[in-house]
Structure formats: structure tokens, C-alpha cells
Amino acid sequence: MEAFIAAAEAAAELAGAVIRPLFRSPLLVEAKGDASPVTEADRGAERAIRALLAERFPAHGIWGEEYGPDRADAEYLWVLDPIDGTRAFVTGRPLFGTLIALLHRGRPVLGLIDQPGIGERWIGVAGQPTRFRSPLGGTPRCRPCGRLAEAELSCTSPEMFEPQDRPGFERLRAAARRVTWGGDCYAYGLMALGLVDVIAESTMKPWDWAALVPVVEGAGGRVTGWKGEALTLESDGRVLAVGDPALLPEATRLLAG
């Protein structure tokens, strides 16, 4: 596993070297099919990550947001999001992140959240405590929170919900202490630091959530679907994360109605 961690960290360094010079610079922004912004930073960072991983682990598969899957049925599959939070990136907000995950037979066993704009990094490994490095400090450990009425709820954007998902989220929102918007992958890192208690999102792709699972769960939380089920590459895009697993039954009940 240490060789996989070293590769993920090296890949994050390469991605950051591509991304940082382009941050807050004039960029040609294009519209993808889902209307999300794409920049040369996304593509260049993914190319750099793919090249390193292909060289070190030629038998592994790779599936990235920008360039799609290559041998997605391999025993080991790297899942990449070079810039999670591209809208933040193109508007000069530094909370975007690079997500690198390794799945073994479909299960996330390694996840890295790198924040190249602020120099923070989380590394989660299945069965191990989450590791965290930051110039700002912090200890990776989710906090106890047994009741939703005391919980800090976070979500990237209300626009991410399909119409059929909005009622469930609104029930959860009404039960929580308060909700904060924005953050993309950074919110999950904050959960691992004990600063966010619940995150509920939908229309998530595997590259959006795969790296988050080992990070949050290595800090004591849980990441599941909205019914409490384990996430898989065939999941429906609904993601629920709780810092205290005791919140899971109430949260899933409200989401399901």
C-alpha cells in the first residue's frame, strides 16, 4: 500500500504543478455536455497523473473525468478528478481540489484529497487512520454528533439535485442545525477534521466520491448512498456522508421520506 500512497502523492504534486500557474490567469473555458466548465488545467493535470500511474502500474486501470476509462475492469482501478470544483477554480476561489482514488475490485482502498491552492492534503487508506497535512494545522477526526438538530449540514449547490431528490434534501435540511453551501470535495475534508457533520449530494460521478470514502471513514465517519448502502461504480449518484455514524439512520429516513 505504501507504494500506492507514494504514487498518489507524486501524482498530486505533478497535478499541482500544472494547476497552480493557471490559477487566476486568463483561461479559455469551454462548456462540456453537462455545461460544467473545463480548462486546460483540468486536462493537463489529468494527463500528468495518467502518465505517472501508467508508468508505475501498467497493469492497473485508470478512469478520469476528462479522458474517460482505460481498462475499467482491471483488478486495481485509479479514479481521478483533476479539479473537483472547476467553477471555484475559474472564479478564483482556492477551495478546488484534486481527487485521486484507488479501487480494488470496485472498493475504494485509497483516497487522496489535495488542495493545491492552499497546501492541504488528506490521505485515507481502508483500515487506517486518515493522514492530514496543512500549514494551518488540524487533526483528522470526525466529531461526535448524535442528533441532526445539532448537525452542521453541507452541500455543494442546490442546483445539483434532480427534482425527485429535492424533497428528501429539504427534509434533511429542515432537521439540521444549519446548512452551508459550496466547498465541493473540501467539505468532506472538513468533515474529516470534525467541522462538518452531514453532507448530502446527488448527481455525483465515481470520480466525485471515490477518493472521499477512505478519507472520511478513516477519520471515523461513513460515506454511503442515500439508503445507507455501500457506493459502487454502478451507484445512482446520491451520496450521503456523516461524521458520526449514529446520524446515519435518521438521515437516511429523512432522505427517503
Report the alpha-carbon distance of residue 131 to residue 80 in Å, rounded.
19
At 35 the pLDDT is 62
CA atoms within 13 A on the CB side of 253: 7
Q: Compute the CA torsion angle 30, 235, 159, 87 (nearest 10 deg).
A: -30
User: For residues 172 and 248, is the Cβ–Cβ distance under 8 A?
Assistant: no
Chain length of the chain = 257
Hunting for cell 448527481 — which residue is that? Answer: 203
For residue 124, CA distances in Å to 127, 143, 155, 219, 221 come to 9, 17, 21, 8, 12
How much is the pTM? 0.95
3-state secondary structure of 141: coil
Mind listing the domains of the chain with CATH numbers? 2-133 (3.30.540.10), 148-256 (3.40.190.80)
Residues of the chain with pLDDT under 50: none
User: For residues 193 and 139, is the Cβ–Cβ distance under 8 A?
Assistant: yes
At 26 the pLDDT is 79
C-alpha cell at 66: 476528462
